[in-house]
Every structure is written in structure tokens, then in C-alpha cells.
Amino acid sequence: MKTNYCKLNIVALATLVVMIFTLAPMNVMADDGSANDNNGDKYVMMNVPYSDFYGEQVDSVTSATKKKTMNERLVAGSYHTPDGGEIRGVTCPVKLGKDVDLSKYKKVNSEADLFAGEDYTYMEIGDKPSFYLEVSNEHGNLKFNIAADVQKATKKVNPDVGEVITDDHHVDYAIKLKNSETFLLENTKVYGVTLKGYGSNYSKKIMHLTQLRNIFVKNQLGGSKEDLAAFVGGTIESIIYYTSDGIYEISNIRLQVPMLVDNKDGGALKVEDIAHGTGSSKVTVNLPEHYMAEYFLDGVEIQIDNGRIVTKNLTVGTHKLTAKDRFKKFSNIDAFFTVTTEKMPAKYDGAKAIKKNNDATDDEFKMYINNITKIQVKVGNKIKTYGVTGRHGVPIIDKNNGELDFESEKVARLKADFPDLSNAEITIMSAGYKNLSFNLKKSQAGNDSKVGSGTTHGTNNDSQNTDAKNTGDKQNIDKAELTKINGQNAKNGNAVRTGDDTTLMSLVGLIAFAATAYVVYRRNLHLK
């Protein structure tokens, strides 16, 4: 009996010793701030100016719309001045060299503080990141470069890059990657992007992109004609992404960057407006020399015969003729025109809805409703016009049933502009049709549909080109962007907390085991 208890005592004490030596290193690692990896290297998250990040002069980004620079979901991976007027650079992991002294720079405790922080503001992190810069001390200044092991781990990816788009709503040139979700994950932060290729004279060119000016919602890139001037007339051969998940390279591509053709006021390509049912419409062509044109009407290839195109089967509304250079040396040219009609298939019913006229077919009424682009509101001397679709549109009219909304939160902008609409003059603008105007006060008196039938005047051709250009597949860059980007990756901070929780649990277990061993030991002595 004594032998068994002695054996138990020895086993308990031996196990206790093993646990102490096993847990001791874990406690040390959890208590030191978690700023080191297994090799003792120290990492921080730091605000790095663009020029330091890329190793070449790159200007910061200024924006008149401060909401965009301060929108973390839109410009994740960057940081801005406290007033939001300027994006200064990249917030990314940095490995500190042994000679680097950060005492003169500001230390913060959260990425939120970094987002609106000064240059070189930093925060300690724990685990070795997938992407990081190395920093050293060079004549008292910080010197950054991408670590060799990070460069070596560059991954090749092959998303669909399509072609360089020249009719985007926001920029002169746009590149929109498809299937990019294979490497640009939901929580992936894009720190920077580099374009490599050749100019018109076959000289090598490099362009470093910045958030908001050139990088939009991760998978959309672009810029002005000044930004991409080096590539105009040449090609982009590769796109390199620097992300929180590492470096990705899209190579073996040939994105031609065409020369832009100005079609202001129809100087290069113009189509005359025509009445519905007209057999053909006149086309004026004044293209640059060497422009090898192919023509497309609403996306379908056609021929221009003696300066005219066939239009007899076109519906009422706005249409688009596009010239494309066969060799893609020049940009596409769009010419918008309108097929008009004198027939008015709709009327105001006097009860805040647009209804079908008695002599109109269902298809004609539907066409009218679908072609509505704007609604004008006038109260006294104040006049405002609202687009009814798109990101900035005010959905005053329900295109399913023609009902008008002047009250709900969907039209909060309208309500703010016109708190009292009781005597408002309303004008409905539908492409190809005469404007429909009515007075809400007069129309609603007795709910008389005859009184509220409204009047028609003019043909709604104003701004029709712009309206057509801003619909369909050409929605602005901010929309894709803003729906796909979700939150920040808080992995590093969680790692520190997890370490603390593990340490606490280990200590509790150690104390409990020691108490048990002590009880066994005392019992053994008593039995002796």
C-alpha cells in the first residue's frame, strides 16, 4: 500500500515539473507584447508614404470629397491626413531592423488610429505577416524595401483582364478585372498596384497606382489620360498587386492603351435624331487618319451606306452608334441619338401616378415608363431636376406601375429640398417623348383625372446622351466597390488576446494540479 502511494507521489511531482517547464516559454511569449516572431524579429503596422512604399516619387492623393478618403471600406490599406483632405500612403506591416529607433514616431494601439495618423505612426503586431516591408536606418532616415522572401513568394494569377475601357463614367482609362475573387478575397487589403509595359516608342514603362485616384474597390484600376500618358499608344504587359495576403502578378497580357478621340459636340461621329418609323438617319463621320473603323448600332455590327444607317425598326428612345478601331490604336467613339414620337402614351391621373392613355397599347406605355430619365420639380422660383435611376438617382417614380413617391425615405433628398410640395409643378422627362407637366395642387383638387391629365411640350432630348451613357453596364466605379469591401482584418490583435487567454487557462490548470499533488503527498505522509 505504501509503495503504491509513493509511486503516485513520484508520478504527480514528476508531471508537475514537466508542466512547469513546458508552460514557462508559453507564458513568456504571451506576456512580452507579441511583437516578435519565432526568430525574434519584430513587426509593426506602420503608415508608409507612397514614395517610401514604391521606392520612387509618387504623389499623395487629394480629394475634394473627403467622405471618400475617410471611407475605410473604399480605401482600405491607406491612411489620410486628420482632416481627410489627402491620402498620404499605405498602412502595411513592417519588419524592423536592429538599428531602427522608433522613439521619435508616434505609437498607437489600434488601426483606427493609424487610418487618420501621421507618416510613420505605428502599432505593434504579433505574427509574421504574409506581406511586409523591411525598414533600416539610413543616415537617420527610415529606408524601406520589400523583403526578399516576400518577393520570392510572388504568386501568378490569371483573372480575365478584358480590355482597356475608354468610355467609363469616372476616368479616361479603366481596367476591370473579372474572376478576381480567386485572389482578392473579401478581407484582402490592397496596399498598392504596379503596371509594367511599353510606351508608343517601345520603351519600358512603369506606373505605380494609388488608392482612390487609380485603385477602386480592389479589382478596378484606371486613371486620367495624364496618369497613363506613358502607356498611351503602347501596351500594359503585367499588373502586380501588393496585398495583405502577399504579392500577386498578372502577366502575359497585352492591354493596348489607345489614343483618346474627342467626340465633343459630335465632331468625330454624329447621328441625326429621327422620328419613329423613319427608314434611315444621316451619319457624319470625321475620324482621325489611320482609324480603321467598324460600326455597331446598340451593340450589333452594321454598315454605313452613303452616310446613312438603317433605323426603321428602332424603338422610341435613345440609341448608340459606336465606332471601333480594328487595330485598337484609337479609342471607341460613341454617338447617341434619339428616335422620337409625337404620340403620348401616358397621362397624370391626378392621384400621384402616371397611367396609360386610352389610345395607347401596354407596350407603348411600358416603353414610355422605361424611358423616363428625369423628373423636374418647381416650387415658386426654385427648380431642381432629379435623375430617377443610378447611384445618385432619386426613385420618384416606380417603373413597375408608374406611381409617384414624394413622401418616403427613398426620396429624402427631394423632401429636404422641397418640404412643401402642395403647389409643386412637376415635369416628367422620357427620352423620345414630349415632356409631361402638371400641378400637384390643381391635379389633386377633387381627384379629377381630366384636371390632372397634364400638358405635354417639347421633345425630351436634353441630356439624353448623358443619361444613356450612365445606365446599363456602365455604372460608376464606386458601386462595385462599395458592396464588396467588408471591414478590417483584425487577426493580429486577436492573436495577442488568444495568447493571453491561453496563458490564463494554463496557470489555472497548473495551480489546480499542484493543489491535487499536494493533497496526495500529505495523504501519503499520513499513511506512513
Is residue 105 domain-resident? yes
Structural domains of the chain, count: 5
pLDDT at 456: 60
| pLDDT tier at 28, thresholds 50, 70, 90 | very low
**Which cell numbers hold the place of 102?**
522608433
| pLDDT tier at 489, thresholds 50, 70, 90 | very low
- Of 266, 436, 273, 435, give the one whose Cα is nearest residue 340: 273
**Domain-terminating residue out of 288, 312, 340:** 340
Tens digits of residue pLDDT in 48-67: 999 999 999 999 998 777 77
Q: Domain check: are 396 and 456 in the same one?
A: yes
Q: Domain check: are 400 and 453 in the same one?
A: yes
Q: Domain check: are 299 and 372 in the same one?
A: no
- Of 175, 233, 174, 227, give the one whose Cα is nearest residue 201: 233
Burial class (CB in 10 A: 0-12, 13-18, 19+), 408: exposed
Bridge-based pairing of strands 425-430 and 372-379 is antiparallel
**Which cell numbers hold the place of 327?**
487595330
Q: What CATH number has the domain bearing residue 188?
A: 2.60.40
Is residue 471 domain-resident? no
Is residue 457 domain-resident? yes
Q: Domain check: are 204 and 249 in the same one?
A: yes
Q: Domain check: are 357 and 456 in the same one?
A: yes
User: Domain range holding 52?
Assistant: 42-152
pLDDT at 511: 54
Q: Domain check: are 166 and 144 in the same one?
A: no
Tens digits of residue pLDDT in 459-484: 555 444 444 444 444 344 344 443 44
In what side-by-side order are the strands of the sheet with 269-271?
269-271, 280-285, 308-310
- Of 242, 184, 331, give the one whose Cα is nearest residue 58: 242
Side chain identity, residue 261: V
Q: Domain check: are 198 and 225 in the same one?
A: yes
Beta strands in 32-73 (DSSP E): 42-49, 61-62
Tens digits of residue pLDDT in 114-156: 999 999 999 999 889 999 999 999 888 899 999 999 999 999 9
CA gap 483, 475 in Å, rounded: 13
* Higher pLDDT pick, 57 / 523: 57
Tens digits of residue pLDDT in 80-96: 988 888 999 999 999 99
pLDDT at 20: 42
pLDDT at 460: 58
| pLDDT tier at 488, thresholds 50, 70, 90 | very low
Overall average pLDDT of the 243-252 stretch: 96
| pLDDT tier at 518, thresholds 50, 70, 90 | low
pTM for the predicted model, two decimal places: 0.72
CA gap 400, 402 in Å, rounded: 6
Q: Strand, coil or helix: what is 88? A: strand
> Are residues 295 and 281 in contact, defined by beta-carbon separation less than 8 angstroms?
no
Q: Among the listed ranges 25-39, 52-66, 291-305, which one has the minimum average pLDDT value?
A: 25-39
Q: Domain check: are 274 and 366 in the same one?
A: no
Whether pLDDT at 425 is above 50 = yes
pLDDT at 83: 82
| pLDDT tier at 72, thresholds 50, 70, 90 | confident
pLDDT at 380: 94
**Which cell numbers hold the place of 370?**
422605361
Beta strands in 353-496 (DSSP E): 354-356, 372-379, 382-387, 425-430, 434-439, 455-459
Is residue 225 domain-resident? yes
Which residues are CB-contacts of 477 (< 8 A; sequence separation ≥ 6)?
168, 169, 170, 171, 174, 216, 217, 220, 222
Helix extents (H) in 261-380: 362-370
Q: Strand, coil or helix: what is 41? A: coil
Q: Strand, coil or helix: what is 519? A: helix
Q: Which helix (H) or strand (E) holds 302?
A: strand 300-302
Q: Domain check: are 279 and 310 in the same one?
A: yes
| pLDDT tier at 180, thresholds 50, 70, 90 | very high
Is residue 129 domain-resident? yes
Q: Which residue has the cell 390643381?
A: 442
Q: Among the listed ranges 178-182, 364-368, 389-393, which one has the minimum average pLDDT value?
A: 389-393
**Domain-terminating residue out of 295, 313, 340:** 340
Is residue 493 domain-resident? no
* Higher pLDDT pick, 55 / 33: 55
Q: Domain check: are 329 and 376 in the same one?
A: no
pLDDT at 513: 53
Helix extents (H) in 141-223: 148-152
| pLDDT tier at 493, thresholds 50, 70, 90 | very low
| pLDDT tier at 458, thresholds 50, 70, 90 | low
pLDDT at 461: 54
Overall average pLDDT of the 182-194 stretch: 95
Angle at alpha carbon of residue 317, lines to 311 and 321, rounded to 5°: 50
Q: Domain check: are 350 and 461 in the same one?
A: yes
**Domain-terminating residue out of 299, 316, 340:** 340
Q: Domain check: are 239 and 295 in the same one?
A: no
Is residue 519 domain-resident? yes
Tens digits of residue pLDDT in 494-514: 433 444 444 444 544 555 555
Q: DSSP assignment of 73-113, as one string? A: TTSTTEEE-TTSSEEEEEEEEEEEPTT---TTS-B-SSHHH
> Are residues 72 and 489 in contact, defined by beta-carbon separation less than 8 angstroms?
no
Is residue 486 domain-resident? no
Tens digits of residue pLDDT in 373-393: 999 999 999 999 999 988 789
